[in-house]
Homo-oligomer: A and B are copies of this chain.
Amino acid sequence: MSYELHYWPMIQGRGEFVRLALEEAGVDYIDVVRQDDDAGGIDPMLDRLSDPKNPRPPFAPPFLRDGDLVIGQSAAILLHLGPRLGLAGTTERDRIWTHQLQLTIADAVDEVHDTHHPLGVDLYYTDQRPEALRRAAGFRKTRLPKFLGYFERVLAANGGTGLVGADLTYADLSLFQLVDGLHYAFPKATAVALQSAPQVERLHAAVAQRPRIAAYLSSERRIPFNEDGIFRRYPELDG
């Protein structure tokens, strides 16, 4: 049976971390909401999200269906998929370390989101633009170098190839996605910050060249970055 991913159809968003793992593993999966059938579209997804027959409902998209198991929260989905797809190392210690990295990447992603929505998701960007300018300045100056510096240090301590060691994990794929999004949203600030994180930049390039990832990125399955997602190109926020 195929894995089913359920997520907003117009953005990469937090669903993209799951998509990258499924694509790298080369397993069958259905991006349900993007299908052109009765299951496709947003309203059926929201109906499934609040399915009264599911006593363990997700809080929000993305969620994954694996047989009769439904899992929400992108990090929890990857926790489930990691060992099944061979993307979480080999030992229990590797698995918890991979997960710890994923949670730190998720924290960085949250902070990227808050650069354009510092006052919350109930207001448009244009209604919080002055505040976004202030928040983005702090992100560029302090937080971006801090996160990239951390991952640089981890890569250096683990041989440079991957965050967990020589074998690719979902944390490596997620770091690729973080850096890819940063290049899109903050091209100037990211170029500067990566000068001090050359191994992070190498990992980003190496993941992009993996055959299945390269095929995915050039396919229609990869939704382009856009200004409805987490990583948005508002030039004024790039300093």
Interface residues of A (CB under 8 A from B): 52, 54-59, 69, 71-73, 75-76, 79-80, 93, 96-97, 99-100, 103-104, 107, 110, 114, 118-120, 122-123, 131, 134-135, 138-139, 141-143, 147, 150, 153-154, 157-158
Contacts and interface: CB of A to CB of B under 8 A. Distances in A.
Contacts of A118: 114, 118-120, 131, 135
Contact of A79 (B54, B55, B56, B99): B99
A135 B79 CA distance: 32
Nearest to A73: B103
B119 A100 contact: no
Contacts of A73: 99-100, 103-104
A100 B143 contact: no
Contacts of A153: 57
B158 A55 contact: yes
- Could you say which of A97, A100, A138, A154 has the most chain B C-beta atoms within 10 Å of its C-beta? A100
B55 A157 contact: yes
Contacts of A69: 93
B79 A96 contact: yes
B120 A139 contact: yes
Contacts of A59: 104, 107, 147, 150
Nearest to A150: B59
20 contacts: A52-B157, A55-B154, A55-B158, A57-B153, A57-B154, A59-B104, A59-B147, A71-B96, A71-B100, A72-B104, A73-B100, A73-B103, A79-B99, A114-B118, A118-B119, A118-B120, A118-B131, A120-B138, A122-B142, A131-B131
Contact of A143 (B72, B114, B120, B142): B120
Which 7 pairs from chain A and chain B are nearest by CB? A55-B157, A120-B138, A73-B103, A76-B100, A59-B104, A122-B138, A118-B118
